[in-house]
Chain A
Amino acid sequence: MASLRVRRLLGPSRRWFSETVPGAPSPPASPLYPPVVASITAKSKAAKSRRLQRFNQRVHAAATVEEKLRLYGKLQRPKYTVYPQTFALNADRWYRSFTRTVLVPGMPPRAAAAKRSVAAAGATPEAGRAPEPGVEAPAAAEAPGPAKTPEPAAGAAPYVDIGDLRSLACDALLQESFYQKKKRPFLYRDQDHTPGPFLTQLVSTLAASLSGRNPLLAASSLDLNPEVNYYWHHGEEVVLHGHRKGRVDPVRFQIDDNPHLQIRVPKQLPEVVPLESDLGDVPVIDHKPSKLPLFKKQYENKVFIGSKVADPCCYGHTQFHLLPDKLKRERFIRERLEDQIEVVYRSNGIASLFAWTAAQAMYQGFWSEADVTRPFVSQAVVTDGKYFAFFCYQLNTLALTAETIKNNPRKNICWGTDSKPLYDVVEDGNVKGFNDEVLLQLVLFLLNRPKEL
């Protein structure tokens, strides 16, 4: 009864004046009634949005990152399994639309400036064969244009001898393909026989010898055959059959990736472009993801970068992917799908790097309702043993769900190159046609580090 409650509230000091006293303080600031909100359990849109809000608050209020990840992936429903290494036609367009990624061909400009300085430092001893670090550094600083002088001056100081690194790479290649006596490769396991061990040897020896130049590599952690997983929602669909038929559900995706090798570091790589930059368009595909083909399965929603949250090396540096036998170039050429060869490399780069950077961002506490405040950058090299393609990914946004994407101007950016061969052929203990550019790009990738180091 409203009137009874009012009289009781006015309490013992009731002076029921006929006219109101001017200047008297108004009733207490807290509302008299609890707020009128939608029900939690009703079968209505308002109730559903209230449940969602309560869930979001629970996740926001989680004490630790592990608790947040546990709540984020608690509800299991059928989801699309996205495979980074896929034979699907034009998969990279689909993956770009799922992950809101812009593909920019070529490498980011920051790498180009450092490239010139390292190339200048490496080229001159090749001609003269008399390496003198003190002489080379000023010579390399003069070579690039004056507009970019401060950058190369900092980049030329660590003197990188390309000749040494080339001999290391050739030694690794020769050992795996020529010198070591191995049995014949198992059926359809050619990649495990030679290119796999070669990649492991190459990366480990290069990373070790470059750790003197790059202190980040000296503190890094090298994982062999790690697991990288990420789970996210993007877009909406109507449930087609089952007891939940007719309801509007988010479209769920999961990436379960196994890179061949990955390097994790304790400090984050610097951003390439500012957070809000717009370098292109994200393809919009009107079809359902199952047309790719992509299939649904229900299992554990995992978010994992390669090691648990407690690991100090929680940021990613570089991943190395080896393409399996199923996706080798000869097969595509035989089926007259030459343009799909590059698609394989690109889809692998985009999907794997999106999963890795997004999982790194979740390890720092960001998620789709709490978008990232700084960009997360990682690199990847996709190879089939001979041809190498390089990718650099900048994650600007995690907000890909139907509600959060409405007012989100940010896009993720992926820079990628085409695949180029590292060598032509290995004959009689000699590597013919070694391509220095590919090695140089690899070295630049490994030398990447934050500005303050």
Chain B
Amino acid sequence: VFPGVRQAQWLTKTKLVEGLPPAVQGIVDNPALGLQELEERAKHVVSHARLWDTAEAAPRRETYCPVLFENLIHICRSMSGKYPSLSKRMLARNCRIAATWERESILLQVRGLSGILMNSMTPIPPVASKEEILATKEHVLETFYPIAPTIDLQEVNVYKELNDTGQCFRDGYPYSHPHTLFFLESANVRTDRFRPEQLRAKMLMFAFGNALAKAKALHGNDPKVLEQPVVVQSIGTDGQLFQFMVFQLNTTDLVSNDGIKNLVWIDSDQNLYERAQCVPEVKKRVVTKPAGISGFQPDTFKKFLALYLHGTV
């Protein structure tokens, strides 16, 4: 009903900031990282996923979306030759996430398969400064009066509040800090896929769930303002459009509406390329659209890589 992110913001007591945080933007703009040479590889990788991967004429979205993601992660991972601390990361697929919290006397729970999760041994340092965190006190959360904020949410009887299983790993797991969540909208039929707005809301909810579970594991179940905010990133894509998100959990005190709020930076609707033509389109014996990838945007790939490198560079 409402743009999903606004509802998710109220539910998770979060303030939205447009664009990527300065720390990540700094990695994007840093010329020492050599992101230029990787552009050529990124273009090849997009062509491989969209054009060359199958023996049929054109791959379908169910195939090309995961293949594109795997190829991009492969490029990012090969940077660990340059930055050895990147090898302290591990991808986990099919993670189940569960987290509960109270919001103005409504008990909310996030559950489900949260896509692909990348864990790291070291946490991401907080992205916002102390002043920014304190400034969120004045921020007023947008309410949807007279519509209840829990509209469109499923009401279930929860018999067990699952919190410590929020992370789907046992104790002693060396890669204990969730780093980035990846969401791939790879359904072939458009109605089965999430719209960009809904995808962003889903990303926000799952990033919040992961961060909350980690915070409760680190600092206990009492609601309080966190000394060390927990940062979790999130990237969602449908094979062409990318949504980037950095979420910082500042407080687990979610019952009241005032006080310190959490922060989220969202960079939405970034196209990696304009169109991928498998067979050249010919109208009246003239080639109108040549075969290949057109309109490749290297900035989107740079942001992807920057979010991957964030925390170790």
Residues of A participating in the B interface, judged by any CB pair closer than 8 Å: 164, 168, 171-172, 175, 178-182, 197, 201, 204-205, 207-213, 217-219, 221-224, 226-227, 229, 302, 304, 307-308, 310-313, 429
Decide if A171 touches B90 in the complex (CB within 8 Å): yes
Partner of A217, one of B55, B78, B93, B95: B78
Selected from A175, A181, A212, A221, the residue in CB contact (under 8 A) with B90 is A175
| Contact of B44 (CB < 8 Å), options: A172, A175, A312 | A312
Q: Tell me if B150 counts as interface (CB < 8 A to partner A).
A: no
| Distance A427 CA – B281 CA, assembled complex (angstroms) | 59
Contact A227 B78 (CB under 8 A): no
Residues of chain A within 8 A of B29, CB atoms compared: none
Q: Determine how close the nearest CB of chain A comes to the CB of B138; give it in whole angstroms.
A: 41
Inter-subunit contact B93/A212 (CB<8 Å): no
Q: B168 and A181: CB pair below 8 A?
A: yes
A-contacting residues, B133-167, CB 8 Å? 165
In Å, the complex CA distance between A313 and B175 comes to 33
- How long is the Cα–Cα vector from A204 to B76 in the complex, in angstroms? 11
Please, could you name 23 A-B residue pairs with CB atoms under 8 Å apart, sorted by A?
A172-B90, A175-B90, A175-B169, A175-B175, A178-B170, A180-B95, A180-B169, A181-B96, A181-B169, A181-B170, A197-B93, A205-B87, A205-B90, A208-B87, A209-B80, A211-B78, A212-B81, A218-B78, A221-B74, A308-B51, A311-B52, A312-B44, A313-B44
Any A CB within 8 A of the CB of B275: no
Give the nearest-CB partner of A219 in chain B.
B41
- How far in angstroms is the closest Cβ of chain B from A31? 42
Question: Given contacts A180-B169, A208-B80, could you give 4 more A-B pairs where the C-beta distance is less than 8 Å?
Answer: A164-B87, A171-B174, A175-B90, A223-B67
Taking the nearest CB of chain A, how far is it from the CB of B146, in angstroms? 42
Question: Do A310 and B94 form a contact, CB below 8 Å, given A181-B168, A209-B80?
Answer: no
**Closest CB-CB distance, B140 to chain A, in whole Å?**
40
Mark out the residues of chain B between 31 and 86 whose CB falls within 8 Å of any chain A CB in the assembled complex: 41, 44-45, 47-48, 51-55, 66-67, 70-71, 73-74, 77-78, 80-82, 84, 86
Give A208's nearest chain B residue, CB to CB.
B77
Q: Does B172 interact with chain A (Cβ within 8 Å)?
A: yes
Q: How far is B80's CA from A205's CA once the two chains are assembled, in angstroms? A: 9
Contact status of A222 and B81, CB under 8 A, knowing A201-B91, A311-B52, A312-B44: no
Contact of B48 among A204, A209, A307 (CB under 8 A): A307
Q: How far is the CA of A168 from the CA of B90 in the complex (A)?
A: 9
- In the complex, chain A residues whose CB is within 8 Å of the CB of B80: 208-209, 211-212
Report the Cα distance A227→B56, complex, angstroms.
Answer: 11
- Whether A307 contacts B87 by the Cβ 8 Å rule is no
Q: Which residues of chain B are within 8 angstroms of A311 by Cβ–Cβ distance? A: 44, 47-48, 52
Q: A209-B87, A224-B70 are in contact. Are A175 and B81 (CB under 8 A)?
A: no
Q: Are A229 and B90 in contact (CB under 8 A)?
A: no
Docked CA distance A316–B73 (Å): 20
Q: Decide: A429 near B48, CB < 8 A? Known: A182-B94, A208-B78, A209-B81.
A: no
Chain B residues with Cβ below 8 Å from A221 are 44-45, 48, 71, 74
Q: How far is the CA of A178 from the CA of B174 in the complex (A)?
A: 12
Number of B residues whose C-beta is below 8 Å from A? 39
- Distance, CA A168 to CA B173, complexed state (A): 13
Q: CB distance B70 to A222 under 8 Å? A: yes
CA distance A306 to B178 in the complex (A): 33
The chain A residue with its CB closest to the CB of B74 is A222
Which residues of chain A are within 8 angstroms of B90 by Cβ–Cβ distance?
171-172, 175, 201, 205
Return the chain B residue nearest A310 by Cβ.
Answer: B52
Q: Is the beta-carbon distance between B175 and A171 smaller than 8 angstroms? A: yes
| CB-based contact A175/B52 at 8 Å | no
Taking CB atoms, residues of chain A closer than 8 Å to B71 are 221-222
- Chain A residue with the shortest CB-CB distance to B63: A225
Report A96 CB to chain B, min CB distance, Å.
27
Residues of B within 8 A of A213 (CB): 81
Once A181-B165, A224-B67, A308-B52 are accepted as A-B contacts, the answer to whether A205 and B77 lie under 8 Å apart by CB is yes
Known contacts A171-B90, A224-B70; A429 and B172 CB within 8 A of each other: yes
Asked if B17 CB lies within 8 Å of chain A CBs, one says no
Q: In the complex, which residue of chain A has the Cβ closest to the Cβ of B77?
A: A208
**Do A208 and B81 touch (CB < 8 A)?**
yes
Are A302's CB and B81's CB within 8 A? no
In the bound complex, how far is the Cα of B90 from the Cα of A112, in angstroms?
32
Closest A residue to B95 by beta carbon equals A180
CA separation between A404 and B305, bound complex, in Å?
52
Q: Given the complex, which residues of A lie within 8 Å of B226, measured CB to CB?
A: none
B74-118 CB contacts (< 8 Å) to partner A: 74, 77-78, 80-82, 84, 86-87, 90-96
Complex: how many Å from CA A201 to CA B80?
Answer: 15
1/0 per residue B171-195: CB within 8 Å of A?
Answer: 0111100000000000000000000
Nearest residue (CB) in B for A215 is B81
Docked CA distance A446–B93 (Å): 24
Bound complex: CA A311 to CA B47 (Å): 8
CA of A178 to CA of B171, assembled, Å: 10
Inter-chain contacts of A308 with B (CB < 8 A): 51-52, 55
Known: A208-B77, A227-B55. Contact between A179 and B173, CB under 8 A?
A: yes
Q: Which residues of A lie under 8 Å from residue B48 when comparing CB positions?
A: 221, 307, 311, 313
Q: Which 8 A-B pairs have the closest CB atoms?
A: A212-B81, A208-B77, A308-B52, A307-B52, A211-B78, A179-B173, A211-B81, A311-B52
Given known A-B contacts A307-B52, A311-B52, A179 and B91 have beta carbons under 8 A apart: no
Query: Are A204 and B74 in contact, with the CB atoms below 8 A?
Result: yes
Assembly CA distance A201 to B92 (angstroms):
9
- Interface core residue of A179, A197, A207, A218 (most chain B CB under 10 Å): A179
Residues of B near A181 (CB, < 8 A) are 96, 165, 168-170
Whether B52 and A180, one on each chain, are in contact in the complex, defined by CB atoms closer than 8 angstroms, is no
In the complex, how many angstroms separate the beta carbon of A286 from the nearest chain B beta carbon? 35
A316 to chain B, nearest CB (A): 15
Cα distance, A126 to B200, chains bound together (Å): 48
Q: How far is the CA of A429 from the CA of B70 in the complex (A)?
A: 28
CB neighbours of A307 from chain B (8 A): 48, 52-53
Which residue of B70, B78, B173 is within 8 Å of A175 (Cβ)? Answer: B173
- CB contacts (< 8 Å) of A197 on chain B: these are 93
Bound-state Cα–Cα, A302 to B55, Å? 8
The CA-CA distance from A197 to B92 in the complex, in Å, is 9
CB contact under 8 A between A175 and B92, given known A222-B71, A304-B55? yes
Q: Which residue of B lies closest to A309 (CB)?
A: B52
Residues of A within 8 A of B87 (CB): 164, 168, 205, 208-209
Which of chain A's residues have a CB closer than 8 A to the CB of B92? 175, 180
Contact of B81 among A180, A204, A218 (CB under 8 A): A218
